[in-house]
Amino acid sequence: MNTVIFDLDGTITDPAEGIVQSFNHTLSELGFNPRPREELLEFIGPPLNVSFYKLAGINDKTTLSRAVELFRGRIFSVAYAQNQIYDGISEVLSQLHAGGSRLCIATQKRQDIAVKVAEFLHIKHFFTQILGCDLLQPKSELLRDILSDNILGSRPIVMIGDRATDYIAASEVNMPSIAVRWGYGDESEYALATDVVDRPEDLPLSILNHASLVPKAEI
């Protein structure tokens, strides 16, 4: 059976309301003007240091650390409960899990926040590992951690996500990737993935067709 790695935001869950409100809460606390919802949707998925630089020009370490603290604090205390699981995802997770696949989450979210979201949505039991990123940690490091596991890394493996960061991270470790169109990416990002699916129910067949063993030299 396969090892299947999922991104969280925009792939398993729609976090839009909580993330938009958390960005605007953080900007307001730091003295910046809030931004329109549609503008902030672009920042679902990318690393927070990149997002806050693009939104407010924040690049000094002290202000960036404060911004991340405010943002993640609101996510952990309030916004985690504003996540909604996409229709059909629970059924796909159940199907893959019952079929013997080992499921993991690799997300730009802090690990404890990702676990809290999975618990809130009653899907934590499907996952063997739930991994999150520190501020400057690339997602490719999370994939390498999974590849280094004696069981997970010995199976055909694939990364599933909605943004370019997912497909680039997979490419960096020579891992195939599947783009999902129900998230927050666009066609230029999807072009970086190995395959693209339109609906959750299309995932099992795509996983079967595209999961592959990753040479140990790439870990």
For residue 46, pLDDT beyond 90: no
Query: Do 77 and 155 have their domain in common?
Result: no
pLDDT interval class at 219 (50, 70, 90) = low
How far is it, in rounded angstroms, from Cα 58 to Cα 65? 10
Average pLDDT in the 61-86 region?
A: 94
How far is it, in rounded angstroms, from Cα 166 to Cα 174? 12
Query: Do 104 and 209 have their domain in common?
Result: yes
**CATH code, domain with 34:** 1.10.150.240
**What's the pLDDT at 78?**
94
For residue 217, pLDDT beyond 60: no
**Helix (H) and strand (E) counts for the chain?**
10, 8
Query: Do 73 and 114 have their domain in common?
Result: no
Query: Do 69 and 92 have their domain in common?
Result: no
Average pLDDT in the 63-88 region?
A: 95
Q: For 148, which DSSP code?
A: T
Report phi then psi at 164, rounded to 5: -55, -35
**What's the pLDDT at 134?**
75
pLDDT interval class at 127 (50, 70, 90) = very high
Q: What is the pLDDT of residues 131-145, one digit of tens each?
A: 998 777 899 999 999
Among residues 82, 102, 132, the one where a domain terminates is 82
Query: Do 90 and 195 have their domain in common?
Result: yes
Query: Do 211 and 163 have their domain in common?
Result: yes
Among residues 82, 112, 133, the one where a domain terminates is 82
Structural domain harbouring 93:
3-14+84-218
How far is it, in rounded angstroms, from Cα 176 to Cα 164? 13
For residue 45, pLDDT beyond 90: no
Q: What is the pLDDT of residues 143-192, one digit of tens each?
A: 999 999 999 999 999 999 999 999 999 999 999 999 999 999 999 999 99
Query: Do 91 and 74 have their domain in common?
Result: no
Among residues 35, 61, 82, the one where a domain terminates is 82
- The overall average pLDDT reported for the chain is 94
Other C-beta atoms closer than 10 Å to the C-beta of 177 total 24
**CATH code, domain with 145:** 3.40.50.1000
Query: Do 8 and 27 have their domain in common?
Result: no
Average pLDDT in the 60-88 region?
A: 94
> What residues are labeled active site?
7
pTM of the shown model: 0.91
Query: Do 119 and 26 have their domain in common?
Result: no
Query: Do 8 and 88 have their domain in common?
Result: yes
Query: Do 140 and 65 have their domain in common?
Result: no
Average pLDDT in the 31-45 region?
A: 93
For residue 43, pLDDT beyond 70: yes
Question: For 37-102, what is the HEC assignment?
Answer: HHHHHHHCCCCHHHHHHHHHCCCCHHHHHHHHHHHHHHHHHCHHHHCEECCCHHHHHHHHHHCCCE
Q: Which residues contact 30 (CB under 8 A, 6 or more apart)?
A: 56, 58, 63, 66, 67, 70
Query: Do 179 and 95 have their domain in common?
Result: yes
Give 212's strand partners.
157
Query: How many domains does the chain fold into?
Result: 2
**What's the pLDDT at 124?**
98
